[in-house]
Amino acid sequence: MHTSKFFAFVSLIVGAFAPPPKHFLNWVCTGQDSDDIPDVCNNMCYGATCKSLPVQMYWDQPDSTTRKRRGRNAGCGTSHTCSSGQQCDEYPYASTSTADQVTAVSRCVPRDQNNRQGQGLRQFYNSQGSFKGDGLGGNKGGYTVGFANAGTIQYCIGTNCANDGKEYTRNGLAKRDRIQRRNAGGLYKLNNGATFYAPSGAEVGDIVWTPKSHNKTLSLEMSKSHVFDPDQGLEQYEYMMFNMYTERSEVVGPADGDEA
């Protein structure tokens, strides 16, 4: 066998057995940033770290009936309702089949934060146009959830998993699985200098996608003025996508400290 062919063959074999890199969707929780979603992060972290819910999601492109059923299953509009100005946020996301496999949690969050999360998911799932190939590129698929800038968010960095009175399941107020948040995983350094928190851990070479906006002022304005339509899915955020992109980075190793 010719040498270059031989090496191509070896790398094919090694590639077949090396685990493929994980793809993370990285939520920026706090900071002077229109991507901020502190209450949404609190709900996600409560699910991921206090309720031991999965952090690996599968986007199955659900229709509106399925999405609404997932919302009700998480307690949205069933075990609790949100006041005007707030919206019910579910974890795992109603856009994923992961929501069907567990007892999901939900929390009322400010509307604009829910819209910002929707913008981020839309961008990550569809990533068309100049960012085609980033994120899921419009195809059903799996990914893992991570967090950046968790600041002082209780369920992301605190140790106390007691319900703050705002976490629900379809059975009423959520009961924590753990007294303290899950301590697996940790903080990791990325090749762009940032750090992120992976509740399930990460490996060198894992790919981290962070939804971002070009003009943060505009993004903030749009998320505040957007009127949420429960009959539509994430496509209702399509008109905001020209202002969004998905930043790609890679895990280079663990960061010092254990807090996100």
Binding site for ligand NAG (CB under 6 A): 215, 217-218, 221
Q: Which is nearer to ligand NAG, 139 or 215 (CB)?
A: 215
Query: Omega into 110 within 30° of 0, i.e. cis?
Result: no
Q: Which is nearer to ligand NAG, 221 or 238 (CB)?
A: 221
Q: Shortest approach of ligand NAG to residue 226 CB, angstroms?
A: 14
Q: Shortest approach of ligand NAG to residue 217 CB, angstroms?
A: 4
Q: In whole angstroms, what is the distance from residue 95 CA to residue 67 CA?
A: 6
Q: In whole angstroms, what is the distance from residue 174 CA to residue 151 CA?
A: 24
Q: Shortest approach of ligand NAG to residue 225 CB, angstroms?
A: 11
Amino acid, res. 165: G
Reduced to 3 states (helix: H, G, I; strand: E, B; else coil), residue 59 is strand
Q: Shortest approach of ligand NAG to residue 36 CB, angstroms?
A: 17
Q: Shortest approach of ligand NAG to residue 214 CB, angstroms?
A: 8
Q: Which is nearer to ligand NAG, 175 or 214 (CB)?
A: 214
Burial of 165 (0-12, 13-18, 19+ CB in 10 A): exposed
**Rounded to a whole number, what is the largest CA-CA distance in the chain?**
71
Q: In whole angstroms, what is the distance from residue 207 CA to residue 19 CA?
A: 13
Beta strands in the chain (DSSP E): 23-28, 56-59, 86-91, 105-110, 141-148, 168-169, 172-173, 186-190, 195-198, 207-213, 244-254
Q: Which is nearer to ligand NAG, 30 or 219 (CB)?
A: 219
Q: Shortest approach of ligand NAG to residue 11 CB, angstroms?
A: 45
Cα separations (Å) of 108 from 7, 101, 206, 231? 55, 22, 32, 19
Q: Shortest approach of ligand NAG to residue 122 CB, angstroms?
A: 19
Among candidate residues 180, 144, 141, 133, the one with its CA nearest the CA of residue 54? 144
Q: Which is nearer to ligand NAG, 102 or 218 (CB)?
A: 218
Q: Which is nearer to ligand NAG, 207 or 218 (CB)?
A: 218
Q: Which is nearer to ligand NAG, 166 or 216 (CB)?
A: 216
